[in-house]
A and B are shown apart, each in its own frame.
Chain A
Amino acid sequence: MSDTTHSDNQAPIEPLLKVRHLSTRFKTDRGVLTAIDDVSFDLAPGETLGIVGESGCGKTVTSKSVMRLLPDHLTIYGDDSEIMYKDLNLVRASAGEMRKIRGDKIAMIFQEPMTALNPVFTIGWQLDETLKYHTDLNKRQRRERVIEMLRLVEIPNPEQRVKEYPHQLSGGMRQRVMIAIALSCEPDILIADEPTTALDVTIQAQILDLMNGLKRKFNTSIMLITHDLGVVATVCDRVMVMYAGRVIESGSVGEIFHNPQHPYTKALLESIPKHGRKRADGRLPTIPGIVPSLWELPEGCRFEARCKYSDSDRCIHQEPELRPGLSDRPVRCHYALGSPDERPVNLTASAAEGAAG
């Protein structure tokens, strides 16, 4: 867990995945709902990017958009939305092109492995399916590879386990099988959507340890979607924080944890109980109120109603843009935290000339 190789300096490594202006809208009975709005980020080779936020913030929609797992007939992507994987824009890719990429180049693991695995096929069959589709290996070679993959994810007695069905495995084992399936074609990118949320902490530690080991072995880039900030601190290199469908801040994991600039990020970090630092008054700092409904988004900043720094008409009436804050990383706030005296600093005043638009 000491791989912080690409942290500070943005070395000119070509990102593996470039997401630009990704907006995903859904056709519903009530009209068109914008689930995520103008999301842009890069994923570098071998990097682990954490996407953090509370339920409904759009983190799962972001990952499913990248995998194009959302129902095509109900989903509208923005006109200028781009998800560039190598030279292919996944937003406009055909179903055939996506089938070649899914499972082979970009693979995904889900929160609840029991619903993601097919209950009527053995786990050996399910691992074999991916290999059959994406590789030229013959039956015997595939069987060897299946057992090798199960051994790699530390499933004891893999020769026997291939014949078992998902219900015969424990929750941790099922998640290992999911990881084995996802990594069987050695993908460039692994998308992990709350991979440990349904698991106990000791099993979570096993899975996180496994993911870190496999990342080192295959140099896979990981997009880790989670609401657990402890998990983020343990495995991520960079973090993107989302709120109500918007990216509100991103930076290296150290910057986000030690010098959060957006009031939401700061409040979120403060509101989790800290191990070993018991508060004398027994109370936790809270964020008042709840996340706004995506149907009734405010005119101005989406966090304004819950923000203790909001004191201006501008926060109420004008949504801030995502622009470089005090330490040159993007923050979506008219004011940004992190100045020495802990008072919000007017960002737009100092960067008014630079930000034209």
Chain B
Amino acid sequence: MSLIEVRNLTKRFPIRGGVLNRVINHVHAVSDISFEIASGETLGVVGESGCGKSTLGKTMIRLLEPTAGLVAYEGEQITGLNHSEMMPYRRKMQIIFQDPYSSLNPRLTVSATLKEAIKLHRVLGDGDSMDDYIDTLMRQVGLRPDDKRKFPHEFSGGQRQRIGIARALCVRPTFIVADEPVSALDVSIQAQVLNLMKDLKDELGLTMMFISHDLKVVEHFCDRVLVMYLGHVVEELPTDNLDRDAEHPYTKALLGANPIDDPDDRRPLTVLQGDVPSPINPPAGCAFAGRCELATDRCKVERPVLERKESGRMVACHEVA
């Protein structure tokens, strides 16, 4: 059974303006997205900035309230639960942010940050020692137990992300949303943190949603990937062989725009013309139609839905059979 089920999830942000500060428009950040995540699976979400991937991650665990749609955890609907009913689920669903510096309180030591969450969620039994538990956590993420007395500014970027991971793990979650966890890190540190996350995932049996703009990292780390464009999922595919499996023209363009790490293979990069349309007044038809080579008149007026194609994969495109 799937651990997480998302149905028709939609998130719109109101834009206020005018003399009376009334809602004059909306940013359509996430529009009508449905998917499931199996227990133990790592689902990747890729897309360019502004496509709604972070909003999707935050809305799923109710750090943002969805405008419409529902989210279920182990079959229990969590959208609509009140604050206290939501508490056990908050513990089970944690998030790791891109920039660990701005997501850690600069005035709290690592130990104080961890203690706050551990106490709030009553993670430890009566006989358990808080200090021992924190020491174990520190070791688990590859830091020295003594480091717990330090403040966030005393750590390097990679170490701070390890603290961000410890903070997410300290309440013993089952599901983790990792929102661009390695994007701010140098290449050599990125590999260290990815390996750490992989080890912890295997060791603790975690289920993950991994949000990134970097297709190579997603391909490496995830089992399956959702490709987002302007608030919609345009394709869902396994990561075993992206070049072979990609069917949506946007996914193909994204793959083709990625520089190849081989100087002997200098095939021209796929160059898409134009920019992503504004999410304030999204086009009526396919959001990608304006940049798509295959676009027909139908694409401009009728939005394609994510549906199962002949290949058995989920693609939102009129031109894919």
Contacts and interface: CB of A to CB of B under 8 A. Distances in A.
A202 B257 contact: yes
Interface string B193-223: 0110010000000000000010111011100
A84 interface: no
A54 to B, nearest CB: 4
Given A2-B266, A202-B253, A227 B275 contact: no
A327 to B, nearest CB: 16
Contacts of B253: 202
A227 B187 contact: yes
A205 B270 contact: yes
A204 interface: yes
A286 B191 contact: yes
B49 to A, nearest CB: 6
Nearest to B270: A205
Nearest to B220: A273
Interface stretch (A71-79, A102-110, A229-237): A229-237
B190 interface: yes
B187 A201 contact: no
Contacts of A236: 263
Contacts of A201: 48, 213, 215, 254, 257-258
Interface stretch (B63-71, B102-110, B123-131, B238-246): B238-246
A167 interface: no
Contacts of A269: 261
Contacts of A2: 266
B213 A200 contact: yes
B156 interface: yes
Interface in A222-279: 227-234, 236, 253-254, 257-258, 267-269, 271-276, 278-279
Given A200-B48, A234-B260, A268-B188, A273 B217 contact: yes
B297 interface: no
Interface in A56-93: none
Contact of B260 (A4, A230, A267): A230
Given A202-B48, A271-B190, A230 B258 contact: yes
A285 B264 CA distance: 23
A208 B270 CA distance: 11
A300 B30 CA distance: 54
A257 B186 contact: no
Contacts of A227: 186-187
Nearest to B194: A284
Nearest to A276: B243
Contact of B191 (A282, A285, A290): A285
Contacts of B195: 283-284, 286
A72 to B, nearest CB: 30
Interface in B221-254: 221, 239-243, 253-254
The secondary-structure label for the interface of chain A is loop
Contacts, number: 140
Interface residues of A, number: 50
A291 B192 CA distance: 13
A209 B269 contact: yes
A234 B254 contact: no
B295 interface: no
A2 to B, nearest CB: 6
B188 A233 contact: no
Contacts of B272: 202, 205-206
A1 interface: yes
A4 B263 CA distance: 10
A233 B48 contact: no
Nearest to A206: B271
B262 interface: yes
B188 A55 contact: no
B262 A257 contact: yes
A272 B187 contact: yes
Nearest to A235: B259
B263 A200 contact: no
Contacts of A274: 216, 220, 261
B188 A271 contact: yes
A287 interface: yes
A160 interface: no
A234 B261 CA distance: 7
B219 A273 contact: yes
Given A201-B213, A272-B187, A284 B220 contact: yes
B266 A234 contact: yes
B216 A272 contact: yes
A54 B194 contact: no
5 contacts: A1-B267, A54-B189, A202-B48, A267-B188, A268-B187
Interface of B: 48-49, 156, 158, 186-192, 194-195, 198, 213, 215-217, 219-221, 239-243, 253-264, 266-273, 275
Closest 7 CB pairs of A and B: A230-B259, A273-B220, A205-B257, A200-B48, A271-B191, A54-B186, A287-B188
Given A229-B187, A287-B188, 18 more contacts: A1-B269, A2-B266, A205-B257, A205-B270, A205-B272, A208-B269, A228-B259, A230-B258, A230-B260, A233-B259, A234-B259, A273-B220, A278-B219, A282-B221, A284-B195, A286-B191, A287-B192, A288-B192
